[in-house]
Amino acid sequence: METFRGRFVPRTEAAVKAAVTGGDARVSFVDTTGWLESGDLTDSVHPNDRGHRVIADRPAPVIAARIGS
């Protein structure tokens, strides 16, 4: 999963690609761009309560789409 500030994205994508190339088809990169808005953060970096709810709600549909549920 991409970090919310976009740090280390190339490294994370490379690790996912290496895992997939190595035969692990269950691994995929999740782009989190746009998940959080300024009102979801306490200090422009850390999520507030609303931001944490947004983060908690977003992965379920992504996972369901990947596993076909």
Can you give the pLDDT at residue 7? Answer: 87
Residue range 20-50, pLDDT digits in tens: 999 998 899 999 999 999 999 999 889 999 9
At 52 the pLDDT is: 96
Where residue 54 falls among pLDDT bands split at 50, 70, 90? very high
The whole-angstrom separation of Cα 11 and Cα 56 is 24
For the cut 70, the answer to whether the pLDDT of residue 57 exceeds it is yes
Residue 66, pLDDT > 70, answer: yes
- Which pLDDT score, from 0 to 100, does residue 69 have? 63
